A = this chain, B = another copy of it.
Amino acid sequence: MSTKLRVTVWGENVHEKKDPVVAKIYPNGMHGCIAAALGTDAQLTVRTATLDQPEHGLTKEVLDNTDVLTWWGHAAHGKVEDAIVDRVQERVLQGMGLIVLHSGHYSKIFKRLLGTTCSLTWREAGEKERIWVCNPGHPIAQGIDKYFEIDQEEMYGEPFAIANPDEVVFISWFQGGEVFRSGCTFKRGNGKIFYFRPGHEVYPTYHHPTVQRVILNAVHWARPEGSRWIDSAPNVPADKAPEKIVARGPALHKPGEAGFH
């Protein structure tokens, strides 16, 4: 690991180019806005990557040099190539942090790591969202008051069809009457995963200082802490067993032969 934490901000970058409302709010893309906010922290080196780049900007070299990846996608989840999803998953299992934002709940990588559909209910009415802190001492909640508000947001409501999270850090209250587990932590392999709800593209959510603070906190929280263990299902032949044993009985594999994968 370098001395600085290396962050890659991934953005789908579709609506920013097609939809004038979105383009006006995010002239440098949503990824550009998020990267700029993270870039104010001198402990981080931040780069961006987008769907339209070769390998979606997530080459092996880029991911090998990424400590934490943030992910925003919405309209084009299906266009993300499976081979790239494989590569991201492998790095998460090795310990790379992953911050999944808003509509990224339906991204291939999030569904693959959780094993569930990740569905929810929704409404696009520009209503008020109040996000409550469930654990004020949690690293991701530092510098935030008891709650913060976003004046206009899309509503996401329960049931949120996720695998049970390790911890619920935020829960949202919506003006229209719904609630949602808006900040959830998970671990897969050695990768720390944080899902954070806000961020509908037609509102200036990623310009909101508290939203930026949460993402920054989450990036630090999700930093890799151990080594990059590459698991490989190694065969341990009988003569290399920790205790002395003599192989006996029938066998499917010849000594030293690889197993089925």
Task: Enumerate chain A interface residues (CB-CB to B < 8 A).
Answer: 15, 19, 21-22, 74-75, 77, 89, 93-95, 103, 106, 112-117, 119-127, 130, 132-139, 141-142, 147, 152, 155, 157-161, 163-164, 166-168, 171-179, 181, 187-190, 200-203, 221, 225-229, 231-238, 241-243, 245-253, 259-261
| Residues from chain B with Cβ under 8 Å of A231 in the complex | 117, 119, 159, 161
Can you give 28 A-B contacts (C-beta < 8 A)? A95-B137, A103-B260, A117-B189, A117-B231, A120-B233, A121-B233, A125-B247, A127-B245, A130-B177, A132-B158, A132-B179, A134-B159, A134-B160, A137-B189, A137-B190, A141-B226, A158-B171, A161-B231, A164-B187, A171-B179, A173-B179, A175-B245, A177-B242, A178-B241, A178-B242, A202-B251, A203-B249, A203-B250
The oligomer's copy count stands at 4
Give A132 to B178 CA distance when docked, in angstroms. Answer: 8
- Are B115 and A188 in contact (CB-based, < 8 A)? yes
CB-CB under 8 A from A234, the residues of chain B are 121-122
Interchain CB contact (< 8 A) of A181 among B94, B113, B117, B171: B171
